[in-house]
Each structure stands twice: as structure tokens, then as C-alpha cells.
Homo-oligomer: A and B are copies of this chain.
Amino acid sequence: MNQGYTTYFSPRFSETDGLGHINNTVIPVWFESARDPIFKIFVPSLEIAHWNLILAKISVDFKAPTFYGSEVKVITSVSRIGNSSFEVHQKCYQNDELTAEGRTQMVHFDYETNRSQPISKEIRAQLEQLAD
């Protein structure tokens, strides 16, 4: 059972490549965009000047080509919550086929002290609602 939330994307002509598919480098772009609701948990205003997240690692498995001309659905959930870091799990579907699946390691970060910082109880509770 996959919980979390859903984001829709219209693949762009400019996102295709010469093979006639969506280029693989586009999937991390969609996944980052689909993390907006998670960004909002940490930075409710989405003001970049108040940013407090850092990306430590991404991985993406490509299962099938994704095409231009048909809507894409990304399901985003939280698959691990640590002391100061957490993992986001994302699945990209087109016409009910899973075309890509990714995991992103994020760290709650203080850009002023340049250090990771613990995730507060309140934020943790919101992330837990997105657990898969």
C-alpha cells in the first residue's frame, strides 16, 4: 500500500531526447518538483532565503521509457525518518505503468552554521503522515 501524495506532470517536448523518450536526466527534475509539499513542511513560505534542506543522495531506477504526449503521475512518500535526515521515495507512472522509481536522501540543514540539525517533533509528525 503506497500512501503519500500525487503530483501530475505534462511531459514537455523539450524533455524528450533523440530516442523519442523523455531523457533520463528529466526524471530527477520532476522528482525534485514533486518534493515541493515536503519542502513546504520545512519552509512553509517556500522562500529560498529560509531554505533548510540539503540533498545528500539521489538514485533512480529506470523501469520503462516515459513518453511525450501523455500525462505522468508521481507518487511521493517518506520511507525513512532519522534524527536529522530522511528518505523520500518516488514512483513515476504513465498510463498505469511504473516507468521510474527513485529514492532521495535529504538532510535538515542550517546554512548559517553549515551543519545538519535535528528534525523537530512537529515536522516529524508531518513527515510520518507521508510514510509509505
Q: Which residues of A contact B (CB under 8 A)?
A: 10, 12-14, 16-21, 23-26, 28-29, 32-33, 36, 39, 45-49, 51, 54-62, 68-69, 111
Q: Is the interface of A mostly helix, strand, loop or mixed?
A: mixed
Q: Which residues of B contact A62 (CB under 8 A)?
A: 54-58
Task: For A35, give the chain B residue with the smallest CB separation.
Answer: B13
How many copies of the chain does the oligomer comprise? Answer: 4
Q: Which residues of B contact A21 (CB under 8 A)?
A: 18
The distance from the CB of A88 to the nearest CB of chain B, in whole angstroms, is 13
CA distance A99 to B82 in the complex (A): 24
CA distance A88 to B5 in the complex (A): 33
The distance from the CB of A46 to the nearest CB of chain B, in whole angstroms, is 4
- Which of A18, A19, A36, A45 has the most chain B CB atoms closer than 10 A to its own CB? A18
